Structure 1
Amino acid sequence: MASFFEMLYEGFPPLNLFYINGFSNDMFSADAYTSIGLMMLFSALIMEGLYYFVLSNYGKMHRRSFWFLWLFIIAVLNFVLAYINSMSSLTKVGTGSDYTFSQYFSFSMVNVLWAVVFSFIFSVIFKFWSVSASRTPF
């Protein structure tokens, strides 16, 4: 499982699109990728499930604009979760103070990217069973 999240968070080796020197190695060593990645997957799954099976059944919440708002909420939640958990994981290992805001921010934005991607995938799956939002987002 750790290698799957390493692949996501470091950007598909050997390309290493999201690799951050030193920071990525310490995150992998602290086993932070797995915990943050699982939180990202489960939060996207649960939040999209809530949207399609609960929220979309009320009023006009099944519209595309509310879906984008909900996606934005998922993105903000995952940014905060990744930022706080990456900082605490590296602090526990003793390397948390070695990194700047921009490195934590960059990692958190990568987490947001994957949260949006997985939310979209879950949307495609859930929309077929939704009563009101079967055409949301497309």
Structure 2
Amino acid sequence: MGEFFGSIYCWFEDFFGLELAEYMWGASSPLSQNNSFIGIGFTMFGISLAVVLIYYYAVNHPRLTNWWGWLIFLGANAVVNFIVGWQWVLKDNYDNKMVGIDPSTNLQVPLNIGESEILCFGVSNMILSILAFIIFSFIFKWWSSNCSRAPF
């Protein structure tokens, strides 16, 4: 699953930076040897699926059976996933896990990853969650009693 999520997130590696992508793969830091894309990807899919199921089956209100009702839940999903992706990576930055080994001195040096790259990763997670929300909507909308026609 790490290869799956990593390849999806790396569609945006030019946006959030190659160095952050290598860190997320677990390749550039001795303090983080695991693939971080797995946890973030499963969390993003889980949140998107939960919001879709809440919209189509828990809320399932006739007033929300149009495009703007669906768009409200899409926006909520996007905001939550932006915050999750941004804070997940920012926590590693604040915990000083984003370090590499200088080959000439064998000392730990901080990776060249700034807060703007971390913010861009949150935006990337948000965009992927919007895509996941749309896909999950087309899968699960058919069995909803009121909202089966939303968004189209």
| Residues 59-68 or 113-122, more deviating | 59-68
Matches within 5 A, 1:1-138: 1-11=1-11, 18=15, 20-29=17-26, 30=32, 31-56=35-60, 58-92=61-95, 94-95=97-98, 98=111, 99-138=113-152
Gapped runs of 5+ residues in structure 1? Answer: none
SS in 2 for 1:110: helix
**Once the two structures are aligned, what percentage of the paired residues are identical?**
25
1:52 and 1:111 map into 2 onto residues whose CA distance is 23
Displacement of 1:17 after TM fit?
5.0
Q: Indicate the SS of the match to 1:128.
A: helix
For the residue of structure 1 that corresponds to 2:85, the secondary structure is helix
Larger-gyration structure (1/2): 2
Alpha-carbon RMSD across the aligned residues, in angstroms, is: 2.0
Partner in structure 1 of residue 106 of structure 2 = none
Tell me: CA distance 1:45–1:64, structure 2 relative to 1, closer, same or farther (3 Å).
same
Structure 1 runs of 4+ aligned residues shifted over 6 Å read none
Task: Extract unaligned runs of 5+ from structure 2.
Answer: 27-31, 100-109
Q: TM-score, normalised by structure 2?
A: 0.80
Distance (whole Å) between structure 2 residues aligned to residue 94 and residue 40 of structure 1: 22
